[in-house]
Structure 1
Amino acid sequence: MPFNRSNLRPDLNDPNWPKEAPVANQHEALPEQTRITRGVDAAELTLLKELEKKILWLSAWTIHNANHLRESRDGLKVGGHQASCASITAIMTALYLKVLRPQDRVAVKPHASPVFHAIQYLLGNQTRDKMEKFRALGGMQSYPSRTKDGSFVDFSTGSVGLGAAVTNFAALTQDYLRMKDLVPTNDVPGRMVALVGDAELDEGNVYEALLDTWKHDIRNVWWVIDYNRQSLDGMVNEHLFRLIGRFFRAVGWNVITLKYGRKLYEAFQRPGGSALKKWVNACPNDIYSALAFQGAAAWRKQILEDNPGDADLATLIGSYDDDGLQDLMTNLGGHCMEALLDAFENVPNDKPTCFIAYTIKGFGLPLAGHKDNHAGLMNPQQMAAFRADNNVTQGSEWEKFAGLESSAENLQAYLDHVPFNILKQRRLSEAPIPVPAALPYAVEKQTSTQMAFGKILNNIAKEGGPLAERIVTTSPDVSVSTNLGGWINQQGLFERFERGDEFRDRKVPSAQKWIRSPQGQHIELGIAENNLFLNLAALGLSESLFGARLLPIGTLYDPFISRGLDALNYACYQDARFMLVATPSGVTLGPEGGAHQSISTPMIGMGQPGLTSYEPAFADELSVIMRWGFDHMQDRENGGSLYLRLSTRNLNQPQRDMDEDLKNQIIKGGYWLKKPAAGSTLAIVFMGAVAPQAIEAYDRLVTDYPDAGLLCITSADRLYNDWQRLERARLNGLDQVEMAHVEDLFEPLGAKARFCSVIDGHPAALAWMGAVRGHSVAPLGIEGFGQCGDLPDLYATYNIDADSIERAARRFQERR
């Protein structure tokens, strides 16, 4: 049936529109347009199209091999998204083999992983063995991975939307480094390129990132949207491209739409071409995709039914045979090498640029256009026909140039001079930043860990030096309430242009001195935790991406880690290095109520790979941990990121000398504040802000149980992972003399001892310790949402007060 012609909209793709809009106004974007280059060298164009054909073959064959030829021992479908690969093959060929430079960095849409690896295979960066093991142990990962695939992956992708957004923060990081002369400024800056599936634009974090980075006036970012108009479950609305364009323009981006390929463009110039163009522009996405799947006969029938009596259009359509008409109607801008190269090579300035590249999902495959093709796979019969179409003989499927018309010598010579591949080593490095033997901190009689954090950082700023120069802080609009104020007052806020503090200039009293300049070392964000973790990811990869090491510190309220957990996981998966300071935490944030009180975050800290969590009770512990943390962030082989769970509760501070043994135990995860006698049957184990309650309960118990112990845990995470590491070694039959620190800690307790654990968080974070040496444990903590109240009421309500700790500890002893 004819589609509703009321869908027609004003044509914004007229080639007669000016080739470039004026760029004097930095916030004026280019109009949408299609620009077909007429200056590409014919020989080079031929080679690129040949290589595009080979890349499509290799990506499709890689997936086919994994699903149909490789032995299946578990019966599970391997998958691989052949259709999603096909829609973006021309785009990636144009970029990687012609347009990109060594300093450019790319985040590849997750489902295009086989295309990416096919390109790397042709460039000599990927092996056949790993291609054949796609989605198998030791082979190519399902989605590009910095840590699993190799150094040629710039950004890991997988969780849709995050890979696109991180390029914005990478561009911000590059600006930060260049404005501080931490990288050579005479070099042309790299472009941060995101290859984005159109359905990824449904993710809200994309728009959060666009808004936050707009505030920082980022440059040198390209987003290339594979606008194939299909998602997993259905079709994308046909007018989405207009909303996409409007949004990107609203945040100051250039917007370039590539809707037509050269063949369509030339057809539009012929009699009947104007009508054909109107039809193409008005055709709904689902109909266009269905026609692409059905083929030439369906195209003829639909176009002529929708334009009865248009003789010129009928003559135009009739001038193409079936193969020619199918080729014409699927010749969209995202599949046309000429259109792509023209668009990429004629970007007018360094403003962020969005390319909306129209494509057909499954282009070039028998799956093309079908609404069910997202996870679809070519069957063996279809693959056999596809093999014949590509002139690939059996046994030559993995050969680089099998079936291509150009000579292998010419093709290899071209690949050998691809600009993007000139530098084989894409991971840069810099010597570690020296860290003082101790961080500057004066012990106080009473303070909180949050307050101590701010003072330690403030003192680092006052002392200056390499450590202070490389620290960069960031926060989602909670910098003051997380005690970054002193640091910011000294180091300033980062901004592209100098801007003073109007309140200070007008002599309005304020504790904060908000001076903005390129020299500033705090990057302020809006209230968007996803952006915080994406910013930390980019800052934490600065050494590898740009050759200059930064030591990023991000602060937020502890309960809102959960809001940005996907992006936190994404940052850790890339092995980005940063220090996350989450404060305040727990029901200890009394009057704020359950919405601001964190319960499960200690478990998040323990369960998140690449992130080592600590919850110190005392300020001197925090100083030791932070000092170790700056080294840990720089340890390439064994290091990682840190998570510090802090509190606003003021505690009496121990007045003690911090010897090396105590420092080591704090870093390992715990120490005896009061060591038990050998064979003791009782101990109290605590972590964090509940220290006063644990100490009070211990003081009551020790009169009746003088052999009891009081154990302070600084990191349940370190203790658990150290123990499990050795347990796995023992399971594998390795002769281990070494004991885990947690085993050493519980060694003094008798075999039938009982201990009570207490934490302002989920009790499971400490309860596992009973399994270390088979001790009975009474775990106390928070298992439900908190509520408003003062600490005596809340601690009593949730049984983490001194009375509850004492009762739990005595109960077993009295039964003995």
Structure 2
Amino acid sequence: MTGEIIEATAGSRVSAKELEMLGAVEKKVRWLSSWTIHHANHIRPKRDGIKVGGHQASCASLSTLMTALYFNVLRPQDRVAVKPHASPVFHAINYMFGRQSREKLENFRAFGGAQSYPSRTKDGDAVDFSTGSVGLGAAVTNFAALTQDYLRYKNMLPKGEKPGRMVALVGDAELDEGNIYEALLDTWKHDIRNVWWVIDYNRQSLDGMIDAHLFRVIGRFFRAVGWNVITIKYGRKLHEAFARPGGKSLKKWLNESPNDVYSALTFQGGAAWRKQILADMPGDNALASLLADYDDDELHDLMTNLGGHCMEAILNAFENVPNDKPTVFIAYTVKGYGLPLQGHKDNHAGLMNVAQMEGFRKANNIAEGDEWDITAGLDCDAQDVRTFIDAAPFNNRQPRQKFAEIITVPEMPYQRADTSSTQEVFGKILNELAKSKNSDFSDRIVTTSPDVTVSTNLGGFVNQRGLFARENLADEFRDRKVPSAQKWIRTPKGQHVELGIAENNLFLNLAALGLSHSLFGQRLFPIGTLYDPFIARGLDALNYACYQDARFMVVATPSGITLAPEGGAHQSIGTPMIGMGQPGLTSFEPSFGDELAVVMGWSFNHMQDQDGGSVYLRLSTKPMEQPERELDEATRSAIVRGGYWLREPGENCKMVLAYCGAMAPEAIAAWEQLKNDHPGMGLLAVTSTDRLYNEWQDLERARLEGRAGGETAHIEDLLKPLAPDARMVTVIDGHPAALAWLGAVRGHAVAPLGINAFGQCGDSIDLYKHYQIDTAAILRAAKRWD
């Protein structure tokens, strides 16, 4: 697969009247974004003395491109990830559309106001994809396109509606982020379509200048993964100048000008341009004559007439995309275009001062008091402008976020075995669900994994439901009758999306799949699996997915040092703390199969609740004897609330053992040996440190504010039978702090056992002994108070 190289030129099918309106709107977009930032930094009261910020220069470089997209090119079904530092432009456009309030703009970067970076959860309906951690917003559009294809090939989207384009507005410095290239490579394998990336090639980063040859590397990389590459380099005025005598020399000088020289001259202005060009091209009389036809202001205007600021060149590029293959536009721009800051290498975090803003106000013909007026200062009829804005195809007044029906979740098909692990039970439950025919729930499950499908027990589900691909691809091993436990048949009906070994891509894929109900109006139940320690490797993307309120289940397995022979690189320590601390993600670490079945059933409903979220299951490969029991409703409720008494404490209980996950056998064995010496000793099964801790903390905050009344937290009720001087031993195959807080609930002494050092190879017996989480260690901790 090879990408096409296209050089965009000036000229567009858009009428002169439309170009006039687009020019007026662009001017207003640039003003409003700059004024919003200025108001936040220089007009709104500043109580703490800290700079508010807002990236005026980064906004200005994208104003023309975003105007062209939002007021001409985009359709309602298109979805956009806005460059984080262009957030004020996005807010200004939505203000003009009537989707954003003046109050929100006046409180930009203030509590309750428009957010510093576009946020689905804080900015409301208008935001398609949250951005902020650079690179992730761009990459998620690829996976959103994959999600759209997934739904489209299953006939789950409206018939006859053209697929939406997933559009990313990308800063050139964002291309330093490695996750960009991981995403490009992984989605190339899936032959995604209908993706546009518009690169704001302003040749400046936060701290300096971009390498002069980056554009060549960008083009080569995107072409290597099959993208169309369209360069928008020069605007109409420059193209016209190039056609005149001396124009070829001018173009040669521009093509060879280093980025830092071009930017410095952009800041200095027309006289500096003239002096530098004539010094670099001595004796070129035709060029000198060409430059002499422009005064200093005109020459400056000409030299900054890059493609990314020429509406005709931009529209020409967007109009001439040859097919639905992914397309990248490399749009040359000026950072700070049209502002006093333009081109200066320090302008990234720079702000116009009061005097500069007054000059900018006069240049925009804005009277005091009219700063927020949508048509003030424009040279065309105000009603024409409002009519044009209302008629923009993207501005259809319909909610951007869609709604999907609630899907009934069946009872999880758990079948007890004498001995099993939570990872094995997880795989068996999914396998049984996959066997269900004509099940709307099972048909909406989509699994994904970064090349660990088999080792995380997804194999059974994939064998039943197949892998997703745009075209039918046979399993050659099966067709050649080569024995294999796995049937890797790829079809458009498949329900597993296989990824390469890139955890960021896993969480970006889960983010896109987990927003399908909101983006496309169709609910999916995404389940992603990976080894537990590698949650840390993809943590930025996981946080990004949760920040968008995407709904998915991440199954992290195997976990802890229980994955003994694999060594420290594959053993996890701090992941229980991630599960407790990550907003939008509820974590569980069940010990037994029946607990897991209850948790999974609750999780699929939680993923659909209006105030729900995503779920993290920390599972283990450790085989354990499974209890023979029928869980009553009270116990099932306690399991999903975070814990229950496996052995009830007696009256005036003085000793408690509390365990989590894989440590159940060791804790049970210790309880058996201690129960006679400590009558009434309790054994607490903690299924979710997250739910126990956060419910308790939320209630504690409510009490401080006088809002709690007589309500008590689940963990408070569980620990109520304990004597005031009772002692606790907690044990987890993870950091001990995940359970050590239990003593603070009712003021009990705690001996927390867990892992706080890197693991190593061994069997679980040796490692449990070395890291002091075996039965003997529990007994020692309990007896230290005797």
Q: State the alpha-carbon separation in 2 of the partners of residues 63 and 735 from structure 1.
A: 40
8 Å contact kept, 1:537–1:577: yes
Note the C-alpha offset of 1:38. Answer: 4.5
Q: Partner letter of residue 138 of structure 2?
A: A
Say which of 631, 641, 645 aligns to 2:618.
645
Note the C-alpha offset of 1:729. Answer: 1.3
Q: Partner letter of residue 796 of structure 1?
A: K
Q: TM-score, normalising length from structure 2?
A: 0.99
Task: State the partner residue of 1:613.
Answer: 587
Task: State the partner residue of 1:22.
Answer: none
Percent sequence identity over aligned pairs = 69
Task: State the partner residue of 1:418.
Answer: 392
1:75-154 to 2 correspondences below 5 Å: 75-154=49-128
Q: State the alpha-carbon separation in 1 of the partners of residues 462 and 258 from structure 2.
A: 53
8 Å contact kept, 2:754–2:773: yes
Task: State the partner residue of 1:20.
Answer: none
Note the C-alpha offset of 1:734. Answer: 1.9
Task: State the partner residue of 1:679.
Answer: 652
Q: Partner letter of residue 231 of structure 1?
A: S
8 Å contact kept, 2:3–2:225: no
Where 2:282 maps in the other structure, the secondary structure is coil
- The answer on 1:666 being equivalent to 2:639 is yes
- The answer on 1:215 being equivalent to 2:189 is yes
Task: State the partner residue of 2:177.
Answer: 203
Note the C-alpha offset of 1:30. Answer: 2.4
Task: State the partner residue of 1:4.
Answer: none
- The answer on 1:233 being equivalent to 2:216 is no
Say which of 439, 447, 450 aligns to 1:476.
450
1:431-442 to 2 correspondences below 5 Å: 431-436=405-410, 438-442=411-415
Q: State the alpha-carbon separation in 2 of the partners of residues 628 and 718 from structure 1.
A: 13
CA 1:660–1:461: 2 relative to 1, 3 Å: same
Where 1:420 maps in the other structure, the secondary structure is coil
Where 1:644 maps in the other structure, the secondary structure is strand
CA 1:735–1:551: 2 relative to 1, 3 Å: closer
Say which of 427, 432, 437 aligns to 1:454.
427
Q: State the alpha-carbon separation in 2 of the partners of residues 735 and 446 from structure 1.
A: 44
Deviation string 1:536-566 (CA, Å, 9 cap, x unpaired) is 0000000100110000000000000000000
Task: State the partner residue of 2:151.
Answer: 177
Note the C-alpha offset of 1:467. Answer: 1.2
Q: Partner letter of residue 694 of structure 1?
A: A
Task: State the partner residue of 2:571.
Answer: 597
1:293-692 to 2 correspondences below 5 Å: 293-436=267-410, 438-464=411-437, 465-636=439-610, 638-692=611-665
Q: State the alpha-carbon separation in 1 of the partners of residues 12 and 85 from structure 2.
A: 32
Say which of 676, 697, 722 aligns to 1:749.
722
Note the C-alpha offset of 1:735. Answer: 4.5
8 Å contact kept, 2:12–2:313: no
Note the C-alpha offset of 1:738. Answer: 2.1
8 Å contact kept, 2:79–2:166: yes
CA 1:322–1:478: 2 relative to 1, 3 Å: same
CA 1:782–1:266: 2 relative to 1, 3 Å: same
Note the C-alpha offset of 1:242. Answer: 0.5
- The answer on 1:786 being equivalent to 2:759 is yes
Task: State the partner residue of 1:805.
Answer: 778
Q: State the alpha-carbon separation in 2 of the partners of residues 435 and 59 from structure 1.
A: 46
Q: Partner letter of residue 701 of structure 1?
A: L
Q: Partner letter of residue 520 of structure 2?
A: F
Deviation string 1:378-399 (CA, Å, 9 cap, x unpaired) is 0000000000000001111111
Task: State the partner residue of 1:714.
Answer: 687
8 Å contact kept, 1:482–1:583: yes
Q: State the alpha-carbon separation in 2 of the partners of residues 458 and 123 from structure 1.
A: 48
Q: Partner letter of residue 72 of structure 1?
A: K
Q: State the alpha-carbon separation in 1 of the partners of residues 2 and 490 from structure 2.
A: 25
Note the C-alpha offset of 1:424. Answer: 2.5
Q: State the alpha-carbon separation in 1 of the partners of residues 98 and 343 from structure 2.
A: 32
Q: Partner letter of residue 508 of structure 1?
A: V
Note the C-alpha offset of 1:678. Answer: 2.1
Q: State the alpha-carbon separation in 2 of the partners of residues 272 and 739 from structure 1.
A: 82
Note the C-alpha offset of 1:29. Answer: 2.6
Where 2:551 maps in the other structure, the secondary structure is coil
Task: State the partner residue of 1:5.
Answer: none
Q: State the alpha-carbon separation in 1 of the partners of residues 284 and 480 from structure 2.
A: 72
Deviation string 1:401-447 (CA, Å, 9 cap, x unpaired) is 110011111001111111101143011111111111x2111111100
Note the C-alpha offset of 1:183. Answer: 1.0
Where 1:673 maps in the other structure, the secondary structure is strand
Note the C-alpha offset of 1:726. Answer: 1.2
Q: Number of residue pairs matched? A: 785
RMSD of aligned Cα (Å):
0.7
Q: State the alpha-carbon separation in 1 of the partners of residues 472 and 47 from structure 2.
A: 62
Q: TM-score, normalising length from structure 1?
A: 0.96
Q: State the alpha-carbon separation in 2 of the partners of residues 554 and 757 from structure 1.
A: 30
1:35-114 to 2 correspondences below 5 Å: 35-114=9-88
Q: State the alpha-carbon separation in 1 of the partners of residues 12 and 98 from structure 2.
A: 31
Where 1:298 maps in the other structure, the secondary structure is helix
